A and B are shown apart, each in its own frame.
Chain A
Amino acid sequence: MSIQTQNQESETSKISEIFKKYSAYFQASPLVIVLFIFAVVPVAIILMYSVFIFDGFVTRPGFTFTSYIDFFSEWSSLLNLWHTARIFIITWVITLVLGFIISYFLVFDLISFRVKVFFFLLTVVPFWTSGVVRMTSWIPFLGSKGILNSFLINIGIVDEPVQFFLFSEFAVIVSYIHMFTLFMVAPLFNVMARINPNLIEAAKDQGASGFQILRFIIIPMSKPGIIIGTIFIVALVATDFTAIRILSGAQSGSLANSVSVAFFNGFYPIAAAQSVILLALLLLFVGGLMRVVDIRKQM
C-alpha cells in the first residue's frame, strides 16, 4: 500500500519534473513561432524570389543569379549603395558626437537621479510619437519659403532662398539626426551611468586632467554603448525609405529606396535581390560589431 502511494507520488513528481524541464520551451514557443512565421519565412521567400527569372514583365520560378549580377554590374545600383554608405557615415559621426555629449551631460553633469531620468525622458518622448509626423514637420522648416530660409534672408546671410535644404540629402540627414540620435543616447546613457564615480575621483586625485579621464576612463568604458548605438544607427539608416520618400523627393537614391521602387513596379526578383544584398551587408557589419561586444552582457 505504502509502496503504491510512493509510486504514485513519484509519478506525479515525474510529470511535474517533465513540466518543469520543458516549461521554458513552452514559454519561449510563442516568440519563436511568431518570429519564424513573420521574419524567418519572409526572408526565405525573398531569398527564393531573388533567384527567380524575370524577363522585364513577368516573374517566373527558376534559378538564376541574373538579378545579383545585374546589381553589381550596374553603376546606378552601386551608386545607390555608395549614397547609403555616405548618408550612414555622416549621420553616424554626428549622432555619435551629439549622443556622447548629451549622455555625458546627463550622467556626469547632473547630480539628482530624478533630474537625470527626467532629462533623459525628454529626449526619449519623441520616439513614442509618429515618425512620419516628425519627418513631415521638417517641410515648413526647410522649404524655400520655410523658416530657415526666411531667417537667413532676414539676417542677410543669403539674398535668395537656399534651394537645397528641402528635397535633398541634406533634409534626409537632418531628419535622421532628429529621429535617431536617441538610439545613440540611450545605450551611452546606460553604460556611462554604470561607471563607478569613485574611479573618476581616484583618477582626479592622482592628478589626471579632464581630457585624460575622458580618454582613458570614460571613452573605453563607453565602448559597448557606442557599438550598440552604431548597430541601431546603421540598421535604421540603411533600411529607411520613408524619410527618403518624404524629404528627398526622390532626389537622393539609396538602396532601400531603390528596393521599394522596384517592388512597386512589379520587378520582384530585382527588389528581392537588392533586399538580400542589403541584409547580407547589414548582417556582416553588425556581426562584426557583435564580436567586439557581448550584447547579452549589456542587458
Chain B
Amino acid sequence: MISFWQNSTTPMKIRGAIFLLFVIFLYGPLITIGFLAFQGPEGGLTFPMKGFSLYWFKQVILPDYLFDFRLPWLRSFILGIIVMIITIIISFMAGLAYRRGFKGSNLVFYGVIGSLIAPPFLISLGIGLGFANLELLSSWYSGGLGAHLTWSLPFGVLIMLAIFARFDPSIEEAATDLGATSWQRLRFVIFPIVLPGLIAIGLFGFTLSYDEFARTSLVAGDANTLPVDMVSATANAARPDLYAVGTLTTIFSLLIIVLAFGVVYILERKRGIFSAATGSSTDENENYTKSMH
C-alpha cells in the first residue's frame, strides 16, 4: 500500500477521502438499481424490497407487458457495431491525413469540434427535417446512423490526433531507410503501433452509439433504439423492469469494456515481449496507454 501514496499528510488524506466519496457517488446509484431490479412482482421503484425475485429480469427477457426491450436492444447492438466499424476506419484515415497535413485541415478540425459541441437536438432535428423534405422516412439505420457518427467521430478523430502527436517519426524513417514501401510502412509499422488506440476508438464508437438517446430521439422513426425506449418507459411506466433492463445493459457495457481492455492488454504484452527483445523502453508503452484517454 505504502508505495501507492506520497507521504500522507492531512490535505492528502482529505483529497483521498473526497476521491473515495466521489467513487461511491459515481457507483452508488448504479448498484442501488442493481438491487432494486430483484424486487418481487409487487415491488415498486423504491425501497423497501417486496420480496426478492428474478421476476423483472424475466419480464425483460420474456415480457408479457407493453414494453418489449428485446428488439430495441438488438437494433442498438447492430447500430453500435456499424458505428464502431465506420468510426474506426474514418478516424484512422483522418489521422493519417492530419499526419501528412492538408489544406483546410484547421477548418476540418473546427468542424470536428463543432460537431462535438453541437446541440444533439439540432443535429437530430436537422436530419429529421432533411429526411422529411426528401419525403423519406428516417430510421435508426439511416438518419440515426448519421446522427450517431456526428457524435462518435469527434472522439475518434481527437483520440487519433492524440496518438499521432505522440508517434515517434524516426520509427517510420527507419522503415523507409530499410526499404519499406508506403504500404508496408502502413501495414507493418504504423498500424501495429496505433492498434491499441484503434481499439479504444472502437470502444468509444460502440458505447457512444449504443447508449445514445438525444441524437436518436427525433430520427429513429417508429423502430426505437434501446435508450429511446428506456426514456419513454421512465415517463410511462413506474415498474422495476426499467431497473432490470438498466442493470442488464450496464452489465453488457461492462463486458464490452473488459473485452476492449483485455484485447489492449494482450497487445501490450505482446509488444512488451517484442520491445524487451529489441531493447526499447517501456516509456513508450506508457505513452500509448496515456494517449488512449
| Chain A residues close to B by CB (< 8 Å) | 20, 23-28, 30-32, 34-35, 37-46, 49, 98, 101-102, 104-106, 108-113, 115, 117, 119-120, 122-134, 136-141, 143, 145-147, 150, 178, 181, 186, 189-190, 193, 210, 231, 234-235, 238-242, 245-246, 256, 259-260, 263, 268, 271-272, 275, 278-279, 282-283, 286, 290, 295-296, 299
Contacts and interface: CB of A to CB of B under 8 A. Distances in A.
Given A111-B3, A132-B231, A283-B114, 7 more contacts: A31-B157, A34-B153, A35-B150, A130-B211, A131-B211, A147-B32, A240-B214
A58 to B, nearest CB: 14
Interface in B75-125: 86, 89-91, 93-94, 96-98, 100-102, 105, 108-109, 111-123, 125
Nearest to B260: A128
Interface in B239-261: 242-243, 246, 249-250, 253-254, 256-257
A109 B72 CA distance: 45
A181 B22 contact: yes
Given A41-B130, A128-B257, A122 B150 contact: no
A182 to B, nearest CB: 9
A143 B46 contact: yes
A117 B257 contact: no
A134 B214 contact: no
Interface stretch (B23-31, B57-65, B187-195, B270-278): B23-31
- Between B12, B36, B97, B203, the greatest number of chain A beta carbons within 10 A of the residue's beta carbon is seen for B97
Contacts of A109: 5-6, 12, 15-16
Given A28-B94, A136-B230, A279-B119, A39 B111 contact: yes
B230 A132 contact: yes
16 contacts: A23-B100, A24-B97, A31-B157, A35-B108, A41-B126, A123-B23, A130-B210, A130-B246, A132-B234, A146-B46, A181-B22, A238-B119, A239-B118, A240-B214, A260-B217, A282-B117
Interface residues of B, number: 96
A28 B129 CA distance: 27
Main secondary structure of the interface of B (DSSP, over half): helix
Contacts of A44: 126
A39 B114 contact: yes
Q: Name the prevailing secondary structure of the A interface residues.
A: helix
Nearest to B109: A296
Contact of A24 (B102, B130, B250): B102
A28 B253 contact: no
Interface of B: 3-6, 11-12, 15-16, 18-19, 22-23, 25-30, 32-33, 36, 45-47, 86, 89-91, 93-94, 96-98, 100-102, 105, 108-109, 111-123, 125-127, 129-130, 133, 146-147, 149-150, 153, 157-158, 161-162, 165, 182, 203-204, 207, 210-211, 213-214, 217-218, 227, 230-231, 234-235, 242-243, 246, 249-250, 253-254, 256-257, 286, 289-290, 293
A235 B117 contact: yes
B26 A133 contact: no
Nearest to A296: B109
A275 to B, nearest CB: 4
A42 B125 contact: yes
Contacts of A129: 30, 207, 211, 249-250, 253-254
Nearest to A246: B234
Contact of B293 (A40, A124, A240): A124
Contacts of A246: 231, 234-235
Contacts of B127: 38, 42
Given A45-B129, A125-B257, A111 B5 contact: yes
Most buried by A among B15, B28, B126: B126
B246 A137 contact: yes
Contacts of A39: 111, 114-115, 118, 123, 150
Nearest to A240: B214
B117 A286 contact: yes
Instruction: Give the residue among A120, A242, A282 with the most B Cβ atoms within 10 A.
Output: A242
A235 B116 contact: yes
Contact of B32 (A104, A141, A190, A278): A141
